[in-house]
Amino acid sequence: MSFAFALCLVTLMGLAAIGMPIAYAILVSSIAYLWAAGDGIGLAGKILLDGMYGSFILLAVPLFIVAANIMNAGTISDRLLRFCVGLVGRFKGGLGHVNVVASLIFSGMSGSAVADAAGIGKIIIDMMVKSGHYTRGYAAAITAASATIGPIIPPSIPMVLYALVSNTSIGFLFLAGILPGLLMGAVLMAMNWWISHRRKFGVEDPVPMSEMPRLTVEAFPALLMPAILLYGIYGGVTTPTEAAAVAALYALLLAGFFYRALSVRNFYGILVDSARSSAAVGIVIGGALILNYIVASENIPDMMANAMAGLDVAPLTFLLGVNILLLLLGCVLDASTIILVIIPLFIPTCNLLGIDLVHFGVVAVVNCMIGLITPPYGILLFVINAVTRIPLAEIIRDVWPFLGALLIALMALILIPEITLFLPRMFGYQG
């Protein structure tokens, strides 16, 4: 390890330890490396611009953010929730099931766990608490857990970032996320059903079946968005980035003209908020591009791959080890940083061991999403605490069973790659 790289690591860990945002810590530590290595600081700008302008797929990130914010701002979320209440609200733990199903549906529109939790999540928490059948902590915990599904079912911003660092097909990654997302929803609903029986939660008054046609018609245009998105990509009509633009336009037409729930003033606010969110992601991406250049310059990924080859590690053992590491890192780092900075280190080893990169990517993203609800620093826990003012201790106390259920789903994905690869192979994936 060179002195410059050691300085980079010490600077990064030191700045992160004193509380500097990780994106800024990465940028400062990367600049420290370039200075110590005798390279011009202008090289950082060149790496950043080359990486940004050479990655057309990155345009999908702000477009998906805009689409999610428009969905949250209009009455689309309310219509989807009424449809979900009619669909599964009649069962034991009904509003908990509604919470999970709403996240499954909304995940096909937003691609963001935070957008799911802060938008439709706040509404369903209020519904669960006002019903009198659920505690505040339980409502918040299942909302945080179900929001992790958002970036698994397409569209998915984290998978766009993984495609950037792994040169994997974003189309096949999107397809590969569908069954794992449904599995996550199934285990969360099973856990909700079990806890509801154990704690004897009350049952909501069922929506008459005669109301279902009307609720379905109201929600149908919103339910079409995932279908339009997937058809555009897999029907060869659009690229994933163009599909993101179509998703944003469709959300705008739906909220502004069809449902008439979006004013010009609100739309301006949405664009401002989306720009801020996109800029925050962009800073992390920019820092990661420079840091990845440094890691590649130091030949760290190849050194790791050769070390693993020398140890004769089995692919399953490697996968389990990486996932344990990612779970630990997920307690202290956000998903974007893990995907952009940490995961690229393992990709050469995956190639060497014959681990499919689509399978690895989906498992890694699921792992990162679980990290969003892992105490003590799960970002989704803080987001829900901020938007609902429910004490963090209450949320953490009730989130453990759902965290355990998601870990069971993660283990199934690791041990049974076919869950992830079944749909991509149906559409011609040869991995």
Q: Mind listing the pLDDT tens digit for each residue in 253-268?
A: 888 887 787 788 888 8
| CB-neighbour burial class of residue 280 (10 A; exposed 0-12, middle 13-18, buried 19+) | middle
Query: Taking each helix axis from N to C terminus, what angle separates 76-88 and 60-73, rounded to the nearest 10 degrees?
Result: 70
| pLDDT, tens digit, 9 for 90 and up, residues 287-316 | 777 887 787 777 776 776 666 666 677 889
- Per-position b or e across 187-198, b if 16+ CB within 10 A of its CB: bbbebbbebbee
**What pLDDT, on a 0 to 100 scale, did the predictor assign at position 33?**
86
Whole-angstrom Cα Rg for the chain: 22
Q: Which residues of the chain have pLDDT under 50?
A: none
**What pLDDT, on a 0 to 100 scale, did the predictor assign at position 50?**
66
| pLDDT, tens digit, 9 for 90 and up, residues 93-140 | 788 888 888 888 776 665 566 666 666 677 788 888 887 888 899 999
Query: Taking each helix axis from N to C terminus, what angle separates 357-371 and 315-330, rounded to the nearest 10 degrees?
Result: 30
Rounded CA-CA distance 72/254 in Å is 12
**What pLDDT, on a 0 to 100 scale, did the predictor assign at position 48?**
66
Other C-beta atoms closer than 10 Å to the C-beta of 202 total 13
**What pLDDT, on a 0 to 100 scale, did the predictor assign at position 364?**
94
**What pLDDT, on a 0 to 100 scale, did the predictor assign at position 49?**
67
Rounded CA-CA distance 77/69 in Å is 11
In three-state secondary structure terms, 377 is coil
**What pLDDT, on a 0 to 100 scale, did the predictor assign at position 186?**
95
**What pLDDT, on a 0 to 100 scale, did the predictor assign at position 154?**
82
**What pLDDT, on a 0 to 100 scale, did the predictor assign at position 1?**
62
